Amino acid sequence: MIPSDGTDQLIEPFDEAELAEIVRDAADNGRPLEIAGGGTRSFGRPVDALATVSTSGISGIVAYSPNEMVAAVRAGTPVSELQAALDDANQRFVFEPIDHRSLLGTEGEPTVGGMVAVNASGPRRFVAGACRDSLLGVRFVNGKGEIVKNGGRVMKNVTGLDLVKPMAGSFGTLGVLTEVTLKVQPKPETEATLIVRGLLDADAVAVLAHAMATPNDVTGAAHLPELVAGKVLDGALGSEQATLMRLEGFESSVNERAEKLKALFGKLGEIDQIDAPQSRRLWAQIRDVAPFADHPDRPVWRLSMRPSDAHEAVMALRMKAGASAFYDWQGGLAWVRMEGGNTMSGLVRKTVEANGGGHATLIRATESERRFAVPFQPQEKPLAILEYRIRKAFDPQGILNPGRMVA
């Protein structure tokens, strides 16, 4: 089933049983497998494997109950297919999953299994939780070729060992997802985004923190520094710094909260407001890191830090490496592009550590750079030991995406 002559092969099983047989054969023969969904999220270290196993053939919506706001979906189902079903019921993913295609220059269709495997989350994550927080149940094939089911279709249906949450963000190293169950939520009636102009990074972060401390239920808080702002909405925001606050809900409530925030921050100058269609488009571009989609040869880092620290780290990287950046999650997520074309992994990690610590993940780089870089944040020794033991239990032979998450 798995080639033994050194040739690459794409294997697309059409059901869970066939997938389990493929993995068992690979485990018995010690042959590594690269695990993929739609092949749109190619970051981390390249995987040295004789075969790529794609779950795109294990597709389809198993059960979707708009009344219960729960969807069970096979892992290879395109995200767009599930999104269309949610749109028909006026529902959505609360975690706003990022689509990496424009940033990474990949093609194909993102799958639901891939979305879960990388814990894809967007601007609403800092108030509504990540993808893993909406995950209720999973089915997967572990590294021994065993079919495992855990969790269910209600929030309190997890008994014994909870295997659901570890699968989100495991990048296919613990098992090959075959089915996931997700909770969803109704779409708000409308949304609007307020724009404060001309703030430097530190001042913008302070304003966003103040806004989040009010009862106005801000669901998006981002800052686009000078020049970066001109790369969204076809330049409609202009090139001046833009500090953004999103409001969602019933129209009357959105308008009332918008007026309260304008009154609160009016001393900073005139505050612009954009309507729902433009707001949705703007936050989709922030979610997908559209300002850095050009110049694919320039590495892009994702820094997750305390909002009070991230802008200090960015300032240091601007001075030392000429980096560009913008912020999401109230300033706690910084997307940083290294304009010189070098990943500068050592400098990035030292800068993060020197400014309060956090996580630095290399999201985009050339394949040769990815092969030798340390893409994921190195773990503290106790966590590294725990992670090793978990992976050993799930995949004793280490055949699933070997090296994908190894520092």
Contacts of 62 (CB under 8 A, 6+ apart): 72, 73, 74, 179
Average pLDDT over residues 18-32: 95
The length of the chain, given as a count of residues: 407
63 with 39, same domain? Answer: yes
Which residue type, as a one-letter code, is found at position 325? A
Average pLDDT over residues 346-370: 93
pLDDT of residue 159: 47
Distance CA 407, CA 405 (A): 6
pLDDT of residue 304: 98
* pLDDT of 25 above 60: yes
* pLDDT of 155 above 80: no
pTM for the model? 0.93
80 with 42, same domain? Answer: yes
194 with 61, same domain? Answer: no
* pLDDT of 267 above 80: yes
- For residue 317, the enclosing domain spans 290-376
Q: Which residue, chain included where needed, has tokens 């990540």?
A: 130
60 with 209, same domain? Answer: no
Average pLDDT over residues 255-284: 96
pLDDT of residue 158: 44
Average pLDDT over residues 220-246: 96
Of the residues 287, 318, 342, which one is the last residue of a structural domain? 287
176 with 30, same domain? Answer: yes
232 with 262, same domain? Answer: yes
158 with 215, same domain? Answer: no
pLDDT of residue 90: 98
Which residue type, as a one-letter code, is found at position 272? D
Number of domains present in the structure of the chain: 3
User: From its phi and psi, is residue 197 left (phi > 0), alpha (psi between -120 and 50) or beta?
Assistant: beta
* pLDDT of 2 above 60: no
Average pLDDT over residues 180-206: 97
pLDDT of residue 6: 45
363 with 258, same domain? Answer: no
* pLDDT of 385 above 80: yes
Confidence at 154, pLDDT banded by 50, 70, 90: low
161 with 56, same domain? Answer: yes
* Angle between the N-to-C axes of helices 201-212 and 251-265, in degrees from 0 to 180, rounded to the nearest 10: 130
The alpha carbons of the chain give a radius of gyration, in whole angstroms, of: 22
Q: What is the mean pLDDT of the chain?
A: 92
Confidence at 317, pLDDT banded by 50, 70, 90: very high
What CATH number corresponds to the domain at position 227? 3.30.70.2190
112 with 146, same domain? Answer: yes
Average pLDDT over residues 332-336: 98
What CATH number corresponds to the domain at position 130? 3.30.465.10
167 with 22, same domain? Answer: yes
226 with 183, same domain? Answer: no
What CATH number corresponds to the domain at position 324? 3.30.70.100
pLDDT of residue 162: 78
